[in-house]
């Protein structure tokens, strides 16, 4: 069984991908890692799933707000 936090991460990634289809997946991951862990001199190896989920939720909220302004 998939951990609930990981399952939420995957669902959130799908939504963010829908909101920003112009981003390649690698760009999306790099942006999220930076949001979650800070500058690249920090290690990503120790990034916790809840940190990543928080970054995904932040990006999703930002993208949804942008879409609302455009609509």
What is the rounded average pLDDT of the residues 4-11?
95
pLDDT tens by residue, 16-27: 999 999 999 999
Buried b (16+ CB within 10 A) or exposed e, 23-38: eeeeebeeebbebbbe
pLDDT tens by residue, 8-49: 999 999 999 999 999 999 999 888 988 888 776 566 778 889
Instruction: Report domain extents, the chain.
Output: 12-64
Number of residues in the chain: 71
């Amino acid at each position: 069984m998939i951990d609930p936090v990981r399952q939420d991460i995957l669902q959130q990634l799908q939504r963010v991908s829908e909101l920003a289809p112009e981003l390649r997946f690698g760009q999306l991951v790099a942006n999220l890692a930076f949001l979650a862990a800070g500058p690249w001199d920090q290690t990503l190896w120790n990034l916790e799933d809840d940190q990543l989920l928080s970054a995904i939720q932040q990006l999703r909220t930002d993208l949804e707000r942008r879409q609302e302004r455009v609509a």
